[in-house]
Amino acid sequence: MSVEPAVLASHDDEQSPRAEPPAGRGGWASLRPLVLRLHFYAGVLIAPFLLVAAATGLLYAGSYQAERILYADELRVPVGSGELPVSRQVAAAREAHPEGTISAVRPSPEDGATTRVLLSGVPGVDPDHPLAVFVDPYTGEVAGALESYGSTGALPLRTWIDELHRDLHLGETGRLYSELAASWLWVTAGGGLVLWFGRRRARRTVRGATGRRRTLSLHGTVGVWAAAGLFFLSATGLTWSAYAGQSVSDLREAVGQTTPSVSAGLASGGEHAEHTGSGGSGDARGAGVGLDAVLKEARAQRLADPVEIVPPADASSAYVVRQIQRSWPEKQDAVAIDPATGAVTDVVRFADHPPLAKLTRWGIDAHSGILFGWANQLVLAALTGGLIVLILLGYRMWWQRGRGSSFGRPMPRGSWQKVPPHVLVPSMAAVAVLGYFLPLLGIPLAAFLAVDVLLGEIAHRRGKRTYTQAG
């Protein structure tokens, strides 16, 4: 819920040293100071990263609609009387753009939508961003060409915003910022939620309140309503992060919950090489039975639009046709088809995916704003906007309490010494395990603790020296 220093500096007398629980008390009374202090440090140091992640996430939530408007000429064409064979559409794309090789073909998924022919290895185009050539499926005219990225087929605007959100356009190093934000979002949200509902005095409305109390009331209301969504954003964001994401992948592999993929290998590559004539050239025209027969067979296997056709990589590979619908209900079935005979060599159904594979797919697509379409995007906009409001309200409370001149008055250092061993030891063990699997949570947490201990020791020695001099 609360992701900033202000929530710590705004619980009034609960924040002051006189509110410190008496020595020897156990349970929540003894644990609360630790939660409060951790929340304070996380708010001061992590909130700026969260603010950047929330702002860029808000931009991304609106990028889908912006993309449809900005690239309307490439994405939409007048509906004609009948579509041309896919092979003719691909031939038109290759005539206009003979450079590179065909990496995939996405036939028009609905009336009025263009077909995309994806070309890899095009000079002057980012190797990670194939060139998408848009073809009118009714006339074969090329409507344009744009760089494309990812399985969702993001175009330049959405790709730029996506990379800004993921790594600030700094590459792998930049991904540390987003993983840091995701690693701490659930901690700060959970800490704020616990502090809010764990207040000792009865919660009461502050109707008519002004100043810090009014800000605190608004902050708490927004935070309580947003908490579940923030937990979800944190968990799904970690799923494909650099370090924590690898831990998730290792765990899924260990329990047999990886996402299955269709096998494109053929048993007798030599025979097929004689018939296909493509040998991995990337030009799908005239490759064995051809694109039209491959698409027809995929339809017979109940692969409805939208689909993507991937040509054989080499003489010993099959065509792979997979569904690419990420909205609900998801269509993720895939088949492999022999380019020489048109026979299906392998089938993978989304319905047969392991539970964790499905949950991961749904979680990522919901986090990306795809799963439930525009409704999903509205919820994401509300969540990211709410997180921005929480952070700003938090810093507002911080300013109101300390006038911006200090960190406010967090709980005194050394609070951990008052926590009973039967609470402290399991808590430390849990934190150690989490820190191992979430290094960008564990490393900063260890740094927070080291700094806190160091500052506490400095303050203790200064106080002792002052006392000695006064004596």
Q: What is the Rg, in whole angstroms, of the alpha carbon atoms belonging to the chain?
A: 28
The torsion defined by the Cα of 90, 91, 93 and 96, in degrees rounded to 10, comes to 170
Of 203, 116, 463, 152, the residue nearest 330 (C-alpha):
152
352 to each of 183, 253, 254, 349, how far by Cα in Å? Answer: 31, 16, 19, 5
> Can you tell me the mean pLDDT for 159-175?
95
Contact 2, 41 (CB under 8 A): no
For position 463, what pLDDT does the model report?
A: 67
11 to each of 19, 213, 223, 397, how far by Cα in Å? Answer: 11, 9, 15, 10
Lowest pLDDT segment from 99-108, 262-271, 292-301, 393-402: 262-271
For position 202, what pLDDT does the model report?
A: 43
> Can you tell me the mean pLDDT for 84-109?
97
Contact 189, 3 (CB under 8 A): yes
Which residue has better confidence, 452 or 293? 293
pLDDT tens, position by position, 178-237: 999 999 999 999 988 888 887 644 455 445 566 778 888 888 889 889 999 999 999 999
For position 138, what pLDDT does the model report?
A: 98
pLDDT tens, position by position, 130-145: 999 999 999 999 999 9
- Give bridge partners of residue 346 from the DSSP assignment: 336
The domain segmentation of the chain, as residue ranges, is 5-61+166-252+375-446, 76-154, 261-352
pLDDT tens, position by position, 43-70: 778 999 999 999 999 999 999 999 999 9
> Can you tell me the mean pLDDT for 436-464?
80
Q: In the CATH hierarchy, which top-level class contains the domain 76-154?
A: alpha beta
For position 24, what pLDDT does the model report?
A: 43
In the block, residue with structure tokens 């909205």: 327
For position 279, what pLDDT does the model report?
A: 39
In the block, residue with structure tokens 């109390």: 213
| Beta carbons within 8 Å of 214's beta carbon, 6+ residues apart | 206
pLDDT tens, position by position, 359-402: 999 999 999 999 999 999 999 999 999 999 999 998 888 788 76
Average per-residue pLDDT in the chain? 84
> Can you tell me the mean pLDDT for 314-341?
96
Phi, psi (degrees; rounded to nearest 5) at 347: -140, 135
For position 433, what pLDDT does the model report?
A: 87
Per-residue buried b or exposed e for 3-40, using 16+ beta carbons within 10 Å of the residue's own CB? bbbbbbbbbeebbeeeebbeeeeeeeebbbbbbbbbbb
Which residue has better confidence, 152 or 284? 152
Rounded distance between C-alpha atoms, residue 436 and residue 276, angstroms: 51
Helices 28-61 and 156-167, axial angle in degrees (round to 10): 160
- Please, which pLDDT band fits residue 457 given cuts at 50, 70 and 90? confident
For position 405, what pLDDT does the model report?
A: 46
84 to each of 88, 107, 175, 283, how far by Cα in Å? Answer: 7, 11, 43, 18
> Can you tell me the mean pLDDT for 103-118?
98
Tokens describing residue 38: 């951790």
- Please, which pLDDT band fits residue 278 given cuts at 50, 70 and 90? very low
What does DSSP say about strands 142-147 and 307-310: parallel, antiparallel, or unpaired? unpaired
For position 221, what pLDDT does the model report?
A: 86
Peptide bond into 421 cis (omega under 30): no
> Can you tell me the mean pLDDT for 15-27?
45
For position 9, what pLDDT does the model report?
A: 37
| Beta carbons within 8 Å of 151's beta carbon, 6+ residues apart | 324, 326
For position 240, what pLDDT does the model report?
A: 87
7 to each of 1, 11, 21, 399, how far by Cα in Å? Answer: 10, 7, 19, 11
Q: Percentage of residues in the chain with pLDDT exceeding 70?
A: 80
Contact 219, 209 (CB under 8 A): no
- Please, which pLDDT band fits residue 30 given cuts at 50, 70 and 90? low
Reduced 3-state DSSP string for the chain: CCCCHHHHHHCHHHCCHHHCCCCCCCCHHHHHHHHHHHHHHHHHHHHHHHHHHHHHHHHHHCHHHHHHHHCHHHHECCCCCCCCCHHHHHHHHHHHCCCCEEEEEECCCCCCECEEEEEECCCCCCCCCCEEEEECCCCCCEEEEEECECCCCECHHHHHHHHHHHHCCCCCCCHHHHHHHHHHHHHHHHHHHHHHHCCCCCCCCCCCCCHHHHHHHHHHHHHHHHHHHHHHHHHHHHHCCCHHHHHHHHHHHHCCCCCCCCCCECCCHHHHHHHHCCCCCCCCCCCCCHHHHHHHHHHHCCCCCCEEEECCCCCCECEEEEECECCCCCECCEEEECCCCCCEEEEECHHHCCHHHHHHHHHHHHHCCCCCHHHHHHHHHHHHHHHHHHHHHHHHHHHHHHCCCCCCCCCCCCHHHHCCHHHHHHHHHHHHHHHHHCHHHHHHHHHHHHHHHHHHHHHHHHHHHHHHHHC
